[in-house]
Structure 1
């Protein structure tokens, strides 16, 4: 049997395992990198893997010393992650694709070097999870949290303020706590920085946990203080400052100061004798039998190759027929593009209507999506123009044909609008994006048509009563009986 130094054995196994990982999870890795490059929220992700590789390299002597032939324990979680990734690939659920892809990298490294060696680098390996572009889903929550903190501070400093959703009005003018004011970019990057800094500076788990917690709490509070300071500045200067470009400049400078304070505190309490290098010297004369071909390795290769082939065939672009929407039970007249709706450019077919009489102020939007060309469920979609409208309430309603998501909106003129958002797939109505995506994924996996429709009802001033809601959705679903009278 061939003999190789331990370090060469590890290098060969890691190279083979990582190559298989790249080929198997190529789609998930590619889409993640695309997000890193195009979204400023995740630009820092481009540095994560090089930093992880550097930290692991510093511990290479410990890894060689603790190296152990692979066991079967890692195969089960790897197969589970492969199953999640396969399901997510068919449904194009990118958050699950990215999570499974980078979580599997941790499992694969564990499989290549064994658990004793993995424990020596477990903290740097955890940093790999920061490659997953997740967190922008918190933007609405962060907008609300920022507003909830900023308003009491303004009231406490005797600034007259009126809140309507995310609109904050003072005598000198009106502010909107928009997505850019949520502080999500600073929060995510500071969280990653806190994780890295805690590894470099502290040896104890307690100190690391405290600093990581601070790297989350401090940006949240700092962002609320930033919004408070901008509005206060606008109040004191009669809106001559803290608007337009000043808004961004003050925010950037403020975040820089906060990050400096966080580092300053960390330097005070850091472990002065903290070392990142291995505790033992690097040796190369310890020989072991190279055992690249084992049961675990065979299972790893077989499942990976099978998954890659299945995904490549199953997710190939398939065209499905798109039949036009028929509306028969209500008096609907097509109108021009709705002012409250943002542009949805990737829909295969979009229609706009008035529902009933003009006096009822009810409007209907229907967009059809061919999944081979565009996605019905996408984080890029907006159901209303968030530059003009802000939500004040959200609820899920049950109607005769399923569920609907109800959104109460208000604009800068204090006009109220109630939206009812529904996703229709294969005759089923869903209010949940998650349920809709899971059902579409199921249809894809069994080879059925996964195309769907986005249906949005808008009613001014008041909510739509449930009986009328049932009539409208019934008219949308009624395709065959075209001889019935209008409601």
Structure 2
């Protein structure tokens, strides 16, 4: 085994100390990232990212050994920015932000402690580490919609009649649903990671590399659309004897594997020959000031690494400790009834308090359902805005018979708009075959964050983190009102608009009172 060159020993020791402190202080962030690798097939490819990055660095060991590390103080400016990103992400319980910040800090200390020249030679392996962050799930709804669009379009072009509602559709031989597992997100994530690595290893030109990465993005999208169409056709032509169970998934992976193999075989035709080895640099003689410089940069790096953790502890200490209590406000012309309007329950977890029931007009007429989920002292698994908190539970009708059939926005005078949705409470195949009217709801929803209303997830996340950073707490709520489309006479939007026009302010005031009542209990 080749011994470590003398000029590298102190800088590598400093880098090891910095990484050790990052691993210790940000253990929960790293553990959360690894947990997602383990439980999610979408990001299972991330397991190979660290070993591949190490191997890519090892390939450049001769070039690195010829250099003399020169710690660069100027790179430390990245650490406070990344620390602020981590702090904001942690306050908002946003895994992606904290994990990108952690990987960014791991990368930033490399040029700071080893020098710019050394980091430049391993820039790709360092950048490749960001593939370890499980990021991209937000694309799933868009991918599901596009897959459903293509599948229905292809079926109709084939001559098969299709009745579609959202991502579910019925053809003469049965009903189908494009669920999250059909989105192709796992194929896309794996293809981008492997395609980027392939481009780096096989091409010298940046133009070729970016072109192949583009192909690696487009290919799995189109391949997944074709896969979905072919699976439906196989089921249709076989009388639903094949492509409907486990083989449904097997066909998908086999098809994806073949497509990726063809993509790499074609891409290899334009591969560039290996470049000439870089000439060995003349090793600079380390000065007597080098150890002092390394110690200075290391001390500053360790301080900046620890600063976000200290700030986080201070913010946590200022959080209110009391448990909120919700009560339905009195609204003129309406009577509160704790009996819900429907058996539908929004899928929101981790709430500190809940209000659920309906307002009935004293003069008679259709009622308005209300659901308010209140959050305080939010943390991972107990936050308002997350991919698992939604109006319906995923896309498995065995877990939740309710399905979203439409989404949009509705304005309310000059006030903040509301998110809208239509829900169906029965499987589409049962709806089309029974002749009965399925339960249907019209739903209006928005977020209340410390006195302000939002419809955007990321804006609500950022504002909540900012309020918490300022010591104002993280009180937040989801406010949902809904009406029955079947028994409401078809004027559900008019009903909800009129109700909110008169009483949205009263609902907001009730939430503000809960927050203000407990504000005095903050330490």
Coarse TM-score class (shorter-chain normalised):
0.7 to 0.9
**Partners in 2 of 1:107 and 1:133 — Cα distance?**
20
**Partners in 1 of 2:8 and 2:509 — Cα distance?**
68
CA shift, 1:179, in A, is 0.9
**Partners in 2 of 1:35 and 1:46 — Cα distance?**
10
Structure 2 partner of 1:467 = 498
CA shift, 1:322, in A, is 0.6
Report which structure shows greater RCO (CA 8 Å, sep ≥6). 1
Residue 231 of structure 2 corresponds to residue 226 of structure 1: no
1:134-145 map, 5 Å: 134-145=135-146
Structure 2 partner of 1:105 = 106
User: Structure 1, unaligned stretches of length 5 or more?
Assistant: 483-487
CA shift, 1:142, in A, is 0.4
Q: Residues 444 and 147 of structure 1: is their aligned pair in 2 closer, same or farther, counting only changes over 3 Å?
A: same
1:18-417 map, 5 Å: 18-273=19-274, 279=278, 289=288, 290-291=290-291, 292-293=293-294, 295-315=296-316, 319-329=321-331, 330-335=334-339, 338-356=342-360, 360=366, 362-372=368-378, 374-385=382-393, 386=395, 387=397, 388-395=402-409, 397-398=411-412, 402-410=416-424, 412=428, 413=431, 416-417=440-441
CA shift, 1:32, in A, is 1.6
Structure 2 partner of 1:485 = none
Q: Residues 240 and 443 of structure 1: is their aligned pair in 2 closer, same or farther, counting only changes over 3 Å?
A: same
CA shift, 1:332, in A, is 2.7
CA shift, 1:280, in A, is 5.6
**Partners in 2 of 1:274 and 1:111 — Cα distance?**
28
Structure 1 partner of 2:489 = none
CA shift, 1:318, in A, is 5.7
What is the count of residue pairs matched by the alignment? 476
CA shift, 1:94, in A, is 2.0
Do the aligned partners of 2:21 and 2:302 also contact (CA within 8 Å) in 1? yes
**Partners in 1 of 2:131 and 2:369 — Cα distance?**
43
Do the aligned partners of 1:159 and 1:235 also contact (CA within 8 Å) in 2? no
Secondary structure of the corresponding residue to residue 74 of structure 2: coil
TM-score in terms of structure 2 length:
0.82
Do the aligned partners of 1:396 and 1:431 also contact (CA within 8 Å) in 2? no
Q: Residues 478 and 281 of structure 1: is their aligned pair in 2 closer, same or farther, counting only changes over 3 Å?
A: closer
**Partners in 2 of 1:438 and 1:398 — Cα distance?**
24
**Partners in 2 of 1:298 and 1:150 — Cα distance?**
58
Query: Over residues 403-445 of structure 1, what are the superposed CA-to-partner deviations in whole Å (9 max), with x where a residue is unaligned?
Result: 4222244562385532211222333322222232223222322
**Partners in 1 of 2:376 and 2:384 — Cα distance?**
8
**Partners in 1 of 2:139 and 2:40 — Cα distance?**
15
Q: Residues 116 and 323 of structure 1: is their aligned pair in 2 closer, same or farther, counting only changes over 3 Å?
A: same
Q: Residues 409 and 280 of structure 1: is their aligned pair in 2 closer, same or farther, counting only changes over 3 Å?
A: farther
TM-score in terms of structure 1 length:
0.88
Do the aligned partners of 1:160 and 1:170 also contact (CA within 8 Å) in 2? yes
Query: Over residues 292-330 of structure 1, what are the superposed CA-to-partner deviations in whole Å (9 max), with x where a residue is unaligned?
Result: 545543432222223222224434686333122323113
**Partners in 2 of 1:159 and 1:342 — Cα distance?**
35
Q: Which moved more, 1:328-337 or 1:110-119?
A: 328-337
**Partners in 1 of 2:184 and 2:365 — Cα distance?**
41
Residue 449 of structure 2 corresponds to residue 429 of structure 1: no
Secondary structure of the corresponding residue to residue 418 of structure 1: strand
Do the aligned partners of 1:41 and 1:188 also contact (CA within 8 Å) in 2? yes
Secondary structure of the corresponding residue to residue 457 of structure 1: strand
Do the aligned partners of 1:325 and 1:476 also contact (CA within 8 Å) in 2? no
Do the aligned partners of 2:349 and 2:389 also contact (CA within 8 Å) in 1? no
Do the aligned partners of 1:191 and 1:215 also contact (CA within 8 Å) in 2? yes
User: Structure 2, unaligned stretches of length 5 or more?
Assistant: 433-437, 486-491, 514-523
**Partners in 1 of 2:174 and 2:501 — Cα distance?**
42
Secondary structure of the corresponding residue to residue 66 of structure 2: helix
Q: Residues 108 and 218 of structure 1: is their aligned pair in 2 closer, same or farther, counting only changes over 3 Å?
A: same
Q: Residues 378 and 325 of structure 1: is their aligned pair in 2 closer, same or farther, counting only changes over 3 Å?
A: farther
Q: Residues 207 and 353 of structure 1: is their aligned pair in 2 closer, same or farther, counting only changes over 3 Å?
A: same
Do the aligned partners of 2:326 and 2:354 also contact (CA within 8 Å) in 1? no
Structure 1 partner of 2:517 = none
Do the aligned partners of 1:421 and 1:457 also contact (CA within 8 Å) in 2? yes
